[in-house]
Chain A
Amino acid sequence: MEKRGFYLYKLIALILLVLGILFPLLVSDQYVIRIINMTFIYIILSMSLNLITGVTGQFHLGHAAFYGVGAYIAALLSVKLHVSFLFAFIAGGIGAGFIGLLIGLPTIRLRDIYLTVTTLGFGEIVRLILLNWVSVTRGPMGIPGIPYPEFFGIKIMSQIDFYYLIFFVLILSVVVLFRITYSRYGDILRAIRENELAAKTLGINTTIYKVTAFVIGALFAGLAGALFAYFSAYISPDSFTFAESINILAMVVIGGLGSMPGAILGAVILALAPEAFRFLAEYRMVVVGLLMLGVILWRHSGLIGEQTAIKFMNMKIGGK
């Protein structure tokens, strides 16, 4: 049954890992590294939403809210309570995961469009709370002066420092989400998406699995938010709008719903597109809109669809 040889995807992952480590040595432009840092954060967001929407099939339109919750928890803890980086970072993830649990438990039984509109409403409510609870969040003024991360005697200050910090978290996220997505556990989630009733009659408590996927997705979005807060040193509700939720969703769909390589590629494309089209000045977002439309008309199930990705995962080189 098992073919011998080496998985192609492992080789590609290894190459990407090495490239990732060497990148700041090859490219020293601060501006470029800053953009790459932001792209990495988007990859975490896109992969985490892919688990919820792509793999499990929960159409979720409020992912930016979890991103925002993580960012605000980390920012407030570090600015107001002077909590250390590691603690604030983890608290951002856990806090977002906890909110995910609170939202997920009552709403996950809602079907299709009702779940969609509820997550949309939830996202808007979180944004409006951030905007109006001025005594804590400072409202539209946002939270400035988020300190540099410091842990184990390391102080993260330059773009390159941030690069390695974010890259490390990215790799951790890829490994965890990859193992969940491409495993028996991921099969359960896909089965629930394909036919929830059949899954139930096989003894699977589908609610628990759906809520768990939702919470894991929220947790990683929260971690991404906490990273973003430290990275940009200033956050405001503007970064966590419905438009941002849609942006993350577009990354997942353009890449290919349910496909992790797709989610990564989608994030890279949509995070870099506004930069790549910067020469178009005010026309660049027009082009981004057309790009979204064009890609989806060209390939309905995304650039690397779920099945394509699974085939790719099984490809081996060497041996027979």
Chain B
Amino acid sequence: MFGQQIVNGLALGLTYSLTAIGFTLIFGVLGLINFAHGEVYMMGAFIAFTLVAFLGVNYFVAFLLAIAFSGLMGYFLELIAFRPLRNAIPEATLIATLGVSTFLKEFANIIWGPEVHTINTPFLSSSFALGGIQISVIQIVILIVSVLLMWGLQLILYKTKTGYAIRAISQDMGASYLMGVNVDNTIAMTFVIGSALGGAAGVLMGTYYGAFYPTMGYMPGLKAFVAMVLGGLTSIPGAVIGGIILGISETLAGAYISAGVQDAISFLILILILLFFPQGLSGKKRSA
């Protein structure tokens, strides 16, 4: 029973981690919260759903296309809601992303309707027993894909020029600009990468729970935000660990306390941790 919950929690937590990475990358370069991130997650999921359910595209091809589409959405999101407001107060950007978020949710409502959709993937939802623990194929897929994507992200961040530029801007945007880093393009790339990961998380989660609906990005968006804060705001490994902690504690709380507590537990953990560690778990003190 306990082992089973850990497996389920890990699968859930990894998708939180993927979502949280996008949040963290964007927060790293701009110091801003992107409240449309949950809707990018939802749109990614719906693209995959549409491709599979209506156009009969192979699941994995659809998955890749959905990731690409989410990345593109990230690009436009930055262009519309972030770039024009770069010198405005942070609250302005927040409201702009909320505007986009409202728009996307309602847009999805019109196109796909408010009801819950599923895609039929017998292979993915089949499961096998391992030492008394039921493990489904989709859980394995989540594990493999998450690890691959996170590994890919590390490659991008540490082995490419774009990655170098992203890290430079996270340290000091003004200095990076003076050093010849193309700030506009780099920020746009950050959104593309972060949103692609968010979209990937959406597809995996939609498949895992067999549920695609317009507000599916809402809770994961909030949880990813929490995971980012737990991880210390700008640390990607921190966000991954934060996501996993949330996933496992939620599953355990759901199994051993009550289903009602499941969603609240993340926020309780967050508030408790912030009361004792006002800078997050692995957070360095940012100089004011």
Contact = CB atoms under 8 A, between A and B. Distances in A.
Contacts of A172: none
Given A114-B278, A297-B84, A288 B271 contact: no
B110 A293 contact: no
7 contacts: A114-B279, A124-B222, A125-B271, A249-B98, A290-B99, A292-B98, A301-B88
Given A109-B278, A286-B110, A59 B95 contact: no
B274 A292 contact: no
Given A113-B33, A286-B106, A297-B85, A121 B226 contact: yes
Contacts of A253: 91-92, 94-95
Given A124-B263, A132-B260, A132-B261, 11 more contacts: A114-B279, A117-B274, A121-B226, A124-B264, A128-B267, A129-B264, A242-B222, A246-B98, A282-B106, A289-B99, A289-B103
Interface of B: 33, 35, 80-81, 84-85, 88-89, 91-92, 94-96, 98-107, 109-110, 218, 222, 225-226, 229, 233, 258, 260-261, 263-264, 266-268, 270-271, 274-275, 278-280
Of B33, B99, B229, B275, most A-chain CB atoms within 10 Å: B99
Nearest to B262: A128
Given A289-B102, A296-B95, A301-B89, A131 B260 contact: yes
A110 interface: yes
Given A113-B233, A125-B268, A132 B110 contact: no
Given A117-B225, A121-B226, A285-B106, A300 B85 contact: yes
B88 to A, nearest CB: 4
A246 B101 CA distance: 11
Nearest to B88: A300
A283 B280 CA distance: 41
A124 B229 CA distance: 16
B95 A254 contact: yes
A121 B102 contact: no
Nearest to A106: B275
Interface of A: 53, 59, 106-107, 109-111, 113-114, 116-118, 120-122, 124-125, 128-129, 131-132, 242, 246, 249-250, 253-254, 257, 282-283, 285-286, 288-294, 296-297, 300-301
A283 B110 contact: yes
A164 B264 CA distance: 39
Given A110-B278, A114-B278, A242-B222, A292 B264 contact: no
Contacts of B264: 124-125, 128-129, 132
B96 A297 contact: yes
Interface of A is mostly: helix
A291 B89 contact: no
A53 B92 CA distance: 13
A117 B91 contact: no
Contacts of B266: 121
Contacts of B88: 300-301
A282 B85 contact: no
B182 to A, nearest CB: 24
Of B222, B229, B267, most A-chain CB atoms within 10 Å: B267
Contacts of A114: 229, 274, 278-280
B103 A290 contact: yes
A236 to B, nearest CB: 15
Contacts of A106: 275
A53 B94 CA distance: 13
B109 A59 contact: no
For the complex of A and B, the 5 pairs showing the least CB-CB separation, nearest first, are A293-B99, A289-B102, A132-B260, A289-B103, A292-B99
A293 B26 CA distance: 19
Contacts of A286: 102-103, 106-107, 110
A291 B101 CA distance: 12
Contact of B271 (A121, A128, A249): A121
A262 to B, nearest CB: 12
A239 B240 CA distance: 33
Of A53, A132, A257, most B-chain CB atoms within 10 Å: A132
A249 B89 CA distance: 14
A177 to B, nearest CB: 19
B95 A124 contact: no
Contact of B98 (A111, A122, A250): A250
A134 to B, nearest CB: 9
Given A114-B274, A124-B222, A293 B96 contact: yes
Contacts of A297: 84-85, 96
Contacts of A122: 267, 271
A282 B110 contact: yes
B278 A285 contact: no
B267 A124 contact: yes
B98 A300 contact: no
